[in-house]
Structure 1
Amino acid sequence: MILAWAPLAIHGVILLALMGGGLLMHQSGARSIGDPLHADLFVGILGLAVLVYFSAVRRVLHKVQPRRAVWLVLGVAVIMRVVLITNPLLLSSDIYRYVWDGRVQAAGINPYRYIPADPALTALRDQTIYPNINRRTYARTIYPPAAQVVFAIVGRISQTVIAMKLAMLACEAVAVICLLRLLAIARLPAERVLIYAWNPLVLWSFACDGHVDAIAVGLLAVALLCRAERRFGAAGAFLAGAVLAKFLPIVVAPAFLRGGAFWRPALAGLAVILVLYGLYISVGSHVLGFMGAYDREEGLNDGRGFWLLAGLAHVMPLPVGVSAIYVACVAAGLGLLSLAILRQRAQGVVADVTLLCRDTAVLAGCAMAALSPHYTWYFAWLALPSVIAPIPAVIWLSAAPVALYLDPDNSRFLWRSIVYVPAAALTLASLWRRRQRLPQALATSEGTRP
């Protein structure tokens, strides 16, 4: 019996050891990891953790696990998160803005009204949160209303980094509970929750740095569960909440509207959007925060922020307007994919939930590959639908971007290619296998006809 548990347990122990090794790379007093050598070693350790994670994923997908293996999976996941949450921030300072926005709201002030450095907020400054806020001298908050509601709730309880981290882990807990229910509906082994719970990128993004994406993950998980249980209005409402926590989940909306379920989720989602923006609309257009300048700061307006266009810039000058053309092409491609998804029909509950998560994973994976952000935590949400629909390229994109914690050539193309080129190769391999299986499936169908 012990031998049956051993392989999965060994994977968990190795992941714990690698996580500890990553923490040891932090140099005391450094705002991030430390000097370039320690940063390189840190990313190397995370890369090894990703390989171990892929091996563990392969095992739970292709090997029958002992009964109650899910408790081992959950136990290791909890230990890793408890260790990380008690350690300092290593890779991002974004959480200081979350705490600040919560503090501002606790003082009865709209968080979109002022930049942190505005004299009107002088009384709220301290020596722990305020000095660490990024863009504090020129940028209003960029975080949308659903995220701001969470910040406000936490800010009225405790205006500390650890409290905000705990809030993000609570959202993760909601996501895991929903995933376990979705696995039961899909009649899949519960231990497959490992695909999310042991993902190194997920761990470091949420337990260590407390990124706001965890709110979107929790709300999207609830939305998926509601849609699987055919509670269409609730699914639309929670999906809208996920979108207003982190705008990216808007791309998966067609997966929720498939099969003729349109009006209830659409109207419920619209109502949630209107209500949440209504809470903060007193500042007028400033409710969009830093969004207007974000595209320029990230190089999206001239194309250099997109991986494919950054590569093209190595061989020729990018023409004016190339970014708009690229975005239009991506939107058209996603639109065609969405039309194909909307035309699908599923027979039975099991097929429906599997198709729902597969479509969500495909839409999310395609959108993230096309947008190619250089912030690693933007990819963490891809692990969520992969639990039910494990598409190799999407699972790769959910974990491999740990490499983007480094960017040695600073070109946004060559180094990032180690993430996107394998993703493209995995996609082509999957399409080839599907093409190879199609004639066999058709032959089988012909042979079974009376």
Structure 2
Amino acid sequence: MIRLLASPAHRLAALGLLLLAVTVGALAIQVPGADTVGAAPQSNAFIGVVAVGLAVYLLAVRLVLRERLPRAALWTILGIAVLLRAALLPALPFLSTDIYRYVWDGQVQAAGINPYRYIPADPALERLRDPAVYPLINRKDYARTIYPPAAQLVFAAVGQVSHSVTGMKLAMLGFEALGMLAMLAVLRGAGLPSARILIYAWNPLALWSFARDGHVDAVAIGLLGIALLARTRRRYGLAGALLGAATLVKVLPVAVAPAFVRGGRLWRPMLAGVAVIAVLYLPYLAAGPNVFGFAGGYGAEEGYDTGVGYWLLAGLGHLGLSPPSLLRTYLVCAGLTLAALALRIAFGPNRQTAPDAVALCRDAGLLAALTTCAASPHYAWYYPWLALPAVVAPAPALIWLGSAPILFLIDPFDDRFLWPSLVFVPALFLAARSLRQACTAPLSALPEGTAP
């Protein structure tokens, strides 16, 4: 046995099977059919088990980045990835109820109704209510849908063929698969090992976010993956259009736009992206101002209007400082920092030594990570998209931020600073270490990525 595990390929398979066992074990903790994990002991046990899965995943990432694996290892990686998703797909979601709103919006559009027009509890939609979906919609008594037009078009398409949660989850996994296939093509084009796809394919946060709970972020990941592929093949207009569509699934992907126009290639991707955004909004404009849905109300619910929703300001609040009084300063500083980085990436001198695909994903990953950290959402499924550029440019902080927020699935303290610090503090340490290495290493010796 020891001799077998001495082979990197066999160690990879062993880690994959262990991750599968841990995932199934975590799944078994929840009471079948319940809409939550359970009481506090069950919740604590669940988060402990998924943390073990995170550790197994990080060991697998380290193996892939440091060892030479045979080409056949790709099939092991993809096979385990399929098994992991198949294990989580059949059961109903219990970590989030967002998918019921997706299914509902699809049903509303299948009935020929603008999804931004009514809240689900409006009497005008009474005929669409069913016992499987409607009772589980969150905020159904006061909130219009928050999801942008590209997401709504996906909900509408799924609603034409299925009114089930499983059908919606399958659609999300389909987009996720498109993203992974696109990144495999980017890896091949850059001459990098295909086994690096494991960085996304085995990411436990992606597994629980999409195979289990079916979050719409998977659509943005799929579109972003194809956009990155198009950009590496110098299809600038197509890349901009796809990035625009991804932005109208989840707003955060707009943060990587400066990486797409790097080197002065501005107008074609920018115009294509803006055009796609305008065209996607057209079918829904009859809703008037309501076309932006519950976006404003959501920000207030999450504490962004008072500052307590931001990790750093929440921490300062523990020290007796007032998050509301610091909010403007925080937003100005974060905005200026991100703007300076965006301008540097988009228009700064091009002194890269890495291949174009690596530089693109490195810059996109940096922009994505800083923007997401500045917003510091406390929902775990906002973070797996960071693992996508990490496949090509595997910075330690990016890999950590794309997977470690699995700890956010359950917060035993219900606090916006203490528990999230388990993710953000190590990320800051990893980022500082990488920055120090970049500053001290000769330019020709700068690595394309370092294992965590």
Which bracket does the TM-score occupy, shorter chain normalised? over 0.9
Distance 1:409 1:13 in 2: 32
Query: Partner of 1:74 in structure 2?
Result: 78
Amino acid at match of 1:432: R
SS in 1 for 2:402: helix
Query: Partner of 1:109 in structure 2?
Result: 113
Alignment pair present for 1:385 and 2:392: no
Query: Partner of 1:329 in structure 2?
Result: 333
Distance 2:195 2:262 in 1: 28
Distance 1:215 1:263 in 2: 25
Alignment pair present for 1:269 and 2:244: no
Alignment pair present for 1:176 and 2:175: no
Displacement of 1:340 after TM fit?
A: 1.5
Which of residues 6, 13, 19 in structure 2 aligns to 1:15?
Answer: 19
Distance 2:414 2:19 in 1: 29
SS in 2 for 1:117: coil
Query: Partner of 1:445 in structure 2?
Result: none
Query: Partner of 2:322 in structure 1?
Result: 318
Instruction: Give ranges in structure 2 of 5+ residues lacking alignment.
Output: 447-452
Distance 1:344 1:218 in 2: 31
Distance 1:319 1:221, change over 3 A: closer
Which of residues 115, 137, 143 in structure 2 aligns to 1:139?
Answer: 143
Query: Partner of 1:49 in structure 2?
Result: 53
Distance 2:422 2:107 in 1: 40
Larger CA deviation: 300-309 vs 22-31: 22-31
Displacement of 1:322 after TM fit?
A: 2.7
Query: Partner of 2:287 in structure 1?
Result: 283
Larger CA deviation: 203-212 vs 336-345: 336-345
Query: Partner of 1:260 in structure 2?
Result: 264
SS in 1 for 2:121: coil
Query: Partner of 1:436 in structure 2?
Result: 440
Amino acid at match of 1:25: I
Amino acid at match of 1:323: L
Alignment pair present for 1:292 and 2:288: no
Distance 2:249 2:160 in 1: 19
Displacement of 1:243 after TM fit?
A: 0.2
Say whether the 8 Å CA contact 2:33–2:92 is kept in structure 1. Answer: no
Alignment pair present for 1:96 and 2:104: no
Alignment pair present for 1:345 and 2:345: no
SS in 2 for 1:408: coil
Distance 1:344 1:237 in 2: 26
Distance 1:344 1:159, change over 3 A: farther
Query: Partner of 1:213 in structure 2?
Result: 217
Displacement of 1:206 after TM fit?
A: 0.4
Alignment pair present for 1:362 and 2:366: yes
SS in 1 for 2:403: helix
Displacement of 1:402 after TM fit?
A: 1.1
Say whether the 8 Å CA contact 1:5–1:69 is kept in structure 2. Answer: yes
Amino acid at match of 2:10: A
Displacement of 1:346 after TM fit?
A: 6.5
Alignment pair present for 1:413 and 2:426: no
Give a deviation string over 1:25-51, Cα, whole Å, max 9, x none: 111342111111111111111101111
Say whether the 8 Å CA contact 2:241–2:273 is kept in structure 1. Answer: yes
Distance 1:118 1:70, change over 3 A: same
Which of residues 232, 240, 244 in structure 2 aligns to 1:236?
Answer: 240
Distance 1:160 1:335 in 2: 42
Alignment pair present for 1:188 and 2:164: no
Distance 1:395 1:344, change over 3 A: farther
Amino acid at match of 1:341: I
Amino acid at match of 1:402: I
Amino acid at match of 2:202: W
Say whether the 8 Å CA contact 1:226–1:232 is kept in structure 2. Answer: yes
Distance 1:362 1:296 in 2: 28
Displacement of 1:439 after TM fit?
A: 8.2
Displacement of 1:422 after TM fit?
A: 0.3
Displacement of 1:323 after TM fit?
A: 2.2
Distance 1:97 1:308, change over 3 A: same
Amino acid at match of 1:223: A
Give a deviation string over 1:216-273, Cα, whole Å, max 9, x none: 0000011100000000000000000000000010111000010111000011001101
Say whether the 8 Å CA contact 1:302–1:322 is kept in structure 2. Answer: no
Displacement of 1:192 after TM fit?
A: 0.6
SS in 2 for 1:259: coil
Alignment pair present for 1:84 and 2:83: no
Say whether the 8 Å CA contact 2:118–2:144 is kept in structure 1. Answer: yes
Amino acid at match of 1:102: G
Displacement of 1:320 after TM fit?
A: 4.1
Distance 2:161 2:445 in 1: 58
SS in 2 for 1:357: helix
Q: TM-score under structure 1 normalisation?
A: 0.95
Displacement of 1:411 after TM fit?
A: 2.3
Give a deviation string over 1:273-299, Cα, whole Å, max 9, x none: 100011101011100000111111000
Distance 1:311 1:356 in 2: 33
Query: Partner of 2:42 in structure 1?
Result: 38
Instruction: Give ranges in structure 1 of 5+ residues lacking alignment.
Output: 443-450
Distance 1:262 1:388, change over 3 A: same
Query: Partner of 2:31 in structure 1?
Result: 27
Distance 1:205 1:320, change over 3 A: closer
Distance 1:239 1:438 in 2: 34
SS in 2 for 1:279: helix
Distance 2:100 2:344 in 1: 42
Which of residues 425, 432, 438 in structure 1 aligns to 2:429?
Answer: 425
